[in-house]
Amino acid sequence: MSEQEDLKQHEATTRRLDEMRERGQTLRSKDLSSGMLLAVAIIILLFMSEIIKAQFQSNFVLAFTSIPKVISDPDQLSSVLESLILSNFFMLLPMMFLLMCVVFGSVFVLGGWNFSLKSLSFKWENINPITNLSNIFSTRMLVDVSKSSIKFLVIVGFFYYFVADNSKDILSLSYLSLPSALSATYYLIQKFILVLFIGILIIVALDAFYSFITYQSRTRMTTQELKDEQKDTEGNVDVKRKLKSLQYALLKQKIPQMVPQATVVITNPTHYAVALRYKEGVDKAPKVIAKGRGAIAQHIRMLAITNGIPIYEEPPLARAIYHTTKLGKDVNPALYLAIAIVLSYIQQLRRYQHGKGPLPTKAVLDIPAPFQFKD
């Protein structure tokens, strides 16, 4: 494994998976579709064995009883053949329908349906003899040969187990009468099909597991690939950092002008800060004139202390206003009652500070459920 593959320690992003699907590279198991098809066919044969047996008997009876009619009238041959073909066709029709459903539905088990024109495009490396020669002796080819050998050994092992377990019954067939031998052979075949079904399930499960592990390994990304994708989708990180610094500087230049006009600053207590202004006769409703989180919230808080603006610590209300109200807009009407209680508290506090009233107590604010946010 190369050094580049050793660094592939990150899960694939959605964009990476979409790009691979466009190129026709999806999660696929070579043995899953064929294994499911064979397994379903075996199940159908097991359940329909009596019907098939009865139909074959009917075919033999019809064929042999029709011999005198065909000899006397050769034109009867076409009607006999037509009857045989139609009866067998209608018997096999449900089986063929189910097998077709399995063929088209098996692709949804791993990877889902995917159609890509890019996978059909001409690629010189596909017919380049030098490239193909190196692929013959590649690790992937060695793995494929090993998988095929394991499949062969599994099938041979199950066949050996069946023969060893039923050797007495198989040898006794030569001593039975013809009807008894046919009946015993019929049940031995059923038993062998069941054993074969178990072997196929094991092969399909192993191949599906290997395909999943291989696909996960192939789709993993290096740290550099993640950075390159981030640059393509979100822009250069350094440029974004500079833009954020510029936006922060511009916001700080406006905050010193707006915070002194505030009626109250509601905080969280340091994560969020929202400066509200409400002047009777001027503002129709409380208006957000400044807001921020993190460093900006701390800056708003410092300006409020410097300019003597009341600070009201109420985390749920601060988060609700911050997330639901844009800068320069009126607060949501659903928060009017809570803000009115805050403004009333501020007025009572000012009266107390001037010796005109008692010390107010903070009330428990009821924030509507849709306006409750976490940090």
Report yes or no on 60 lying in a domain: yes
Mark whether 65 and 182 lie in a shared domain.
yes
* Beta carbons within 8 Å of 255's beta carbon, 6+ residues apart: 290, 292, 296, 299, 300, 303
Domain membership flag for residue 237: no
CATH number at residue 337: 3.40.1690.10
Within this chain, do residues 11 and 127 fall inside the same structural domain, yes or no? yes
Dihedral class, residue 112 (left if φ above 0, else alpha if ψ from -120 to 50, else beta): left
The residue type at 280: E
- Same domain for 302 and 362, yes or no, is yes
Write the DSSP string, 200-259.
Answer: HHHHHHHHHHHHHHHHHHHH-B-HHHHHHHHHHHH--HHHHHHHHHHHHHHHHHHHHHHG
Contacts of 125 (CB under 8 A, 6+ apart): 131
**Does the residue 188 lie in any domain?**
yes
Q: Which domain holds residue 281?
A: 243-371
Q: Could you tell me if 45 and 68 lie in one domain?
A: yes
Phi-psi region of 235 (alpha: psi -120 to 50; beta: other; left: phi over 0): left
Contact 262, 346 (CB under 8 A): no
Whether the CB-CB separation of 191 and 162 falls below 8 Å is answered with: yes
pTM of the model: 0.42
Same domain, 261 and 214: no
Taking the chain (375 residues) in runs of 10, the rounded mean pLDDT of each run is 54 71 70 78 77 80 82 82 85 84 74 60 58 61 76 83 84 78 79 80 81 79 73 62 62 78 87 89 88 84 90 90 89 90 89 85 84 80
Write down the pLDDT at residue 122. Answer: 53
Q: Torsion angle, CA of 171/174/180/183, rounded to 10 degrees?
A: 60
306 in the same domain as 265? yes
Residues 129 and 169 in one domain: yes
State phi, psi for 12 to the nearest 5 degrees. -65, 140
DSSP characters over 4-34: HHHT--BPPPHHHHHHHHHTT-----HHHHH
220 and 254 together in one domain: no
The contacts of residue 307 (CB under 8 Å, 6+ apart) are: 259, 260
> Which pair of structure tokens corresponds to residue 232?
């393509």
If asked whether residues 299 and 226 sit together in one domain, one would say no
- 238 inside domain: no
- Structural domain includes residue 236: no
- Considering the domain architecture, whether residues 7 and 132 belong to the same structural domain is answered as yes
Is 197 within the bounds of a domain? yes
Q: Are residues 73 and 135 in the same domain?
A: yes
End position of a domain, from candidates 230, 252, 287 = 230
* Domain assignment of residue 288, yes or no: yes
Last residue of some domain: 173, 208, 230? 230
Q: What was the pLDDT predicted at 57?
A: 78
Domain-terminating residue out of 202, 230, 258: 230
* Residues 6+ positions from 263 with CB-CB distance below 8 Å: 276, 277, 278, 279, 286, 309, 310, 343, 346
- For residue 276, the model assigns a pLDDT of 93
Same domain, 158 and 12: yes
C-alpha–C-alpha distance, residues 118 and 19, integer Å: 11
Structurally, the chain folds into a number of domains equal to 2
Q: Report yes or no on 235 lying in a domain.
A: no
